[in-house]
């Protein structure tokens, strides 16, 4: 394989690794940003419901006596098509109010109950493959926990958006790799053409037997230099043989005595 092809393949491999890393990091960053945007928007909805509950309880109403809350939950759910359910649960995870009336008195999942019971955490999120749960814990006027507003959000549109951005990043990386490969192929071939000739000539000269080199016409500019190197090599070998013969003379064993 020619030298410039080896260099081109190595350069393309390095570029491919860099683009892969760029696509992965960009994808993760976009996913995190989109998740934060959705969570922030849902937290605003949960905050408005929390204000209604805290205002009602501060007026002396019990948590279970806020009759208009079901209507507020239903109207809030319609603000975003991705919201599947908005529920208000107590500290034990029992649903007190819900935009889906059939869900009232049900118990939410254990992961949600654990976050509702946290006293050191007011806002929390749980992200699954298909759903995003956003919660805002509620306290009464004397700072005692009452429960939490829980919003269940479908990630169908979210997953489509993330998948689209991944496809766009992958396509952009492929086009970039293809464009740079063509450009690098041209530049490297032009830049390495002279060096490649030098390399091939040097390799062919050094690979010739010594006898052929002396009879060879000097058709390349390296022949004279290569001959000189070979001659120096032969002189060194002769001197080494002479030294060896002096140190280790041939003959019978009496010669060493």
Average pLDDT, the chain: 78
How high is the pLDDT of residue 110? 86
How far is the CA of 117 from the CAs of 48, 55, 136, 246, in angstroms?
Answer: 21, 21, 11, 96
Q: Is the pLDDT of residue 255 over 60?
A: no
CATH number of 3-163: 3.30.450.20
pTM, entire model: 0.64
Q: Give the C-alpha separation, 228 to 22, whole Å.
A: 52
Mean pLDDT of 160-188: 86
Instruction: Tell me the per-residue pLDDT of 195-253, one tens digit each, with 9 for 90 and over.
Output: 666 666 666 655 555 444 444 444 444 556 666 766 777 787 777 777 777 776 555 44
Q: Is the pLDDT of residue 9 over 80?
A: yes
Q: pLDDT band for position 151 (50/70/90)? A: very high
Q: Is the pLDDT of residue 99 over 70?
A: yes
Mean pLDDT of 119-129: 81
**Partners of 126 in the beta sheet?**
133
Contact between 100 and 86 under an 8 Å Cβ cutoff? The reply is no
Torsion 99-103-104-110 (CA) sign: negative
Torsion 87-88-94-97 (CA) sign: negative
Instruction: Tell me the per-residue pLDDT of 53-70, one tens digit each, with 9 for 90 and over.
Output: 888 887 777 777 787 888
**Closest C-alpha among 253, 244, 201 to residue 224:** 201
Q: pLDDT band for position 193 (50/70/90)? A: low
Q: Is the pLDDT of residue 96 over 70?
A: yes
How high is the pLDDT of residue 92? 87
- In the Cβ-directed half-sphere of 35, how many Cα atoms lie within 13 Å? 18
How far is the CA of 227 from the CAs of 78, 194, 224, 231, in angstroms?
Answer: 90, 22, 5, 6
- Alpha-carbon Rg for the chain, nearest whole angstrom, is 40
Tell me if residue 67 falls in helix, strand or coil. coil
Domain ranges of the chain: 3-163, 208-247
How high is the pLDDT of residue 218? 45
Q: Which of 213-238 are b and which e, b meaning 16 or more Cβ less than 10 Å from the residue's Cβ?
A: eeeeeeeeebbeebbeebeeeeeeee
Contact between 10 and 184 under an 8 Å Cβ cutoff? The reply is no
Contact between 7 and 192 under an 8 Å Cβ cutoff? The reply is yes
Q: Give the C-alpha separation, 77 to 100, whole Å.
A: 10
């Amino acid at each position: 394989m020619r030298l410039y092809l080896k260099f081109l393949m190595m350069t393309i491999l390095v570029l491919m690794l860099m683009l892969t890393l760029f696509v992965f990091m960009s994808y993760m960053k976009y996913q995190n940003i989109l998740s934060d945007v959705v969570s922030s928007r849902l937290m605003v909805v949960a905050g408005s419901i929390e204000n209604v509950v805290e205002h009602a309880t501060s007026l002396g109403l019990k948590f279970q006596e806020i009759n208009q809350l079901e209507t507020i939950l239903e109207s809030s759910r319609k603000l975003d098509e991705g919201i599947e359910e908005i529920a208000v649960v107590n500290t034990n995870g029992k649903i007190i109010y819900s935009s889906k009336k059939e869900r009232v008195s049900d118990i939410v999942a254990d992961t949600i109950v654990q976050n509702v019971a946290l006293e050191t955490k007011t806002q929390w999120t749980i992200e699954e493959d298909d759903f995003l749960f956003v919660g805002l814990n509620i306290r009464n006027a004397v700072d005692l926990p009452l429960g939490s507003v829980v919003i269940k959000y479908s990630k169908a549109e979210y997953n489509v958006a993330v998948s689209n951005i991944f496809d766009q990043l992958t396509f952009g990386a492929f086009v970039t790799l293809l464009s740079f490969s063509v450009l690098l192929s041209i530049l490297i071939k032009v830049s390495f053409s002279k060096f490649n000739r030098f390399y091939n000539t040097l390799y062919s000269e050094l690979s010739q037997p010594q006898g052929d080199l002396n009879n060879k016409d000097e058709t390349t500019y390296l022949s004279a230099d290569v001959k000189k190197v070979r001659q120096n090599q032969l002189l060194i070998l002769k001197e080494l043989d002479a030294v060896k013969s002096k140190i280790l003379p041939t003959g019978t064993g009496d010669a060493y005595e």
